[in-house]
Amino acid sequence: MAKDYQSFRKELERLRGQVDGADVLRVIDSLIKQLDREREENSRKLNRLSENVRSLDSRLLNVENSQLFRMLHRASRHLRGWTNRDPYVRHARAQSDDLDYKLWIEREALATPPGHWFMDAIAKLDYLPRFSVLLAVDRPRREWLEMAIASILRQSYPHVEICICDDACAEPWVSAFLEERARADSRIHFVRSARRMGPSSSLNRAEILAGGDYIALTDQHDVLSRHTFYYAAEALQETRFDLLYADEDQLGPTGVRERPRFKPDWSPDLLDTTMYLGRLLIFSKDALHRLRGFQSEFDGAHAYDLALRLAENRPSVFHIPRVLSSARPDHAFPEQERRAIQAALHRRACPAMVEDGPDASSFRIHRKLLGTPLVSLIICSRTARLLENCLQSIDRLTAYPVREIVVVQHKTGDDAAMERLLDRSHCVRVSHAGPFDFASMNNRGAQAASGEILVFVNDDVNPLNATWLNQLIAQAQRPEVGVVGAQLVYPSGLIQHAGIAIGIMDGTGHPQRGTSGAGTSGAGFWSWSNHARNVSAVTGACMAIRRQVFEELSGFDTSFPVNYNDVDLCLRARQAGYEVIYEPAAKLEHYESRTRAPGVSWQERELWHERWGEFLAKGDPYYSRHLAGNREDCSLSDG
């Protein structure tokens, strides 16, 4: 606005110097004076608005910091914890989720353009890739196989073919049915194996028939959305990705769509723990040939093995954030999946063990530490009682021995108890006077620390397992990793932090905060809170970072003294090319907002949106756009 005013006024001054008539000059002078008056009035209004916002902000902070508000907030958390454990409430929430998803499907159907729109859009595409869909057929249910094939043939995008290998099915109808379909439709290519080969060899044989630029893998019983390959072609217009994948749901016993799996964008760390990509995978033919196809030693987990091998070569991957596939229930092959992960770790020369994960067909990677680096735990505190509890719990429940503790003491005037505690605790001590300033205090703590790895810990956090620090160190030692965060839970057991998503709530949010976690009723439609994965940011309440990275990023930005400084650090780490990792195997209890008063100031909020507004507008790549942005319960968006 200021630039517009200046340019407009300058133009009036220019015109004033070029005209001679007295009447015209009076008009121009009048316009300039009116413009100046309006600018002054608008400036006064803006100042009054700013003061009112600051006043309102101060009042809201006072309310949030009041004893009554904090007591009600704690009571609310306890109530949520109780209701999440009640089986009747959980059953009711599961039914509510089913209804919500049914309504969501209806809204999506209404928002989908008509068929002629897709025809026009396809005609405008510059690149028209051909897709070859591979099907390995083995003891199928006839009606399900017919539905799967029909869903491929009815695609709105025309350049699609099906390449089928019958893996020596004993049922005579299978080969007769497939031969008849192949004779009737030139888009179907069919071959039958004389003896059973297994899914990998069957898919490799089907791929020989493929003439497409891209090879799509799906299950013999799964049903594809009508516009699956249009959206795939659309995604390939500017970049020829190595791999495309999409969101999916399941078909229940009666054929009703349920249990959607909304996925993050490409997350190689999540892939290392579970085959989150799903069953619909679209590989470029070149990438598939570079990988030399499917390997029969991993039958049952052959697609997982292929994706893990692809991940090792810095692939270009695109996530289509649409539900494009509906899967039938299928058998899991956890041992083959475990072997595929172990083989990947071996290829990468990564010393680690594969352990069982939080749910079926998921795993945890227990990485071996590289040496015994000194680790500095940096704790800002002003309350002796909180700090003493924190120090005792760290001492009692931390297996990693090569550590020091740096306490940044926030002096508040009554520090006798804190001084006595620090005298007997043998900590490195740093003093901070003045208002609470998390960024400056932690930066000073880092300067006083001697460790190769810095771990910032709030004084209201207590470890819940002895290997928590080992898990953070092992992730932080990886050269591609910049920042690592832990899983934090409330005393009730409900999730407080499982990674931070940007662009939701007031710029940042904690998905599944206040729920009992992925895979449980009341946890919403997000399945990943108990899996190690790539995230946009993690909380500074428990955050690990190599000293070299911390110094490269110039530490926490003191422009954010209280809020956003941890997320800002993570986003700057990502800008510098580092990954930010959430590690749920490091689990701690967090009381939240006992280290400092809760609430966000107007100035910090404005600076946050000014600096990162472009990123916030794009949405978080690791959080589904289909989930509500004004809540943290991972419920579906209203539209």
Give pLDDT tens digits for 115-166: 999 999 999 999 999 999 999 999 999 999 999 999 999 999 999 999 999 9
Does pLDDT of 444 surpass 50? yes
Q: Strand 223-224 to strand 508-509: parallel, antiparallel, or no bridges (unpaired)? A: unpaired
Pair 403, 376: CB distance under 8 Å: yes
Token couple for 601? 């100031």
Report the percent of the chain where pLDDT is more than 90.
Answer: 76
Average pLDDT, the chain: 90
Distances (CA, A) of 472 to 273, 544, 584: 16, 6, 10
Residue 428 and residue 521: Cα distance in Å, rounded? 45
pLDDT in tens, 255-293: 999 999 999 999 999 999 999 999 999 999 999 999 999
pLDDT at 186: 96
pLDDT in tens, 293-349: 999 999 999 999 999 999 999 999 999 999 999 999 887 899 999 999 999 999 999
Report the percent of the chain where pLDDT is more than 70.
Answer: 86
Mean pLDDT of 89-112: 84
Residues belonging to the chain: 639
Please, is 458 exposed, middle or buried when counting C-beta atoms within 10 Å of its C-beta (0-12, 13-18, 19+)? buried
Does pLDDT of 54 surpass 60? no
Mean pLDDT of 535-541: 98
pLDDT-derived band at 591, boundaries 50, 70, 90: confident
**What are the phi and psi torsion angles at 386 (to 5°)?**
-65, -45
Mean pLDDT of 73-98: 61
pLDDT-derived band at 103, boundaries 50, 70, 90: very high
Of 21-35, 55-69, 137-151, where does the model show the most confidence? 137-151
Closest CA to 446 of 592, 549, 567: 549
pLDDT in tens, 495-530: 999 999 999 998 899 999 998 876 555 567 999 999
Does pLDDT of 69 surpass 80? no
Does pLDDT of 611 surpass 50? yes
Coil, strand or helix: which one is 15? helix
pLDDT at 220: 96
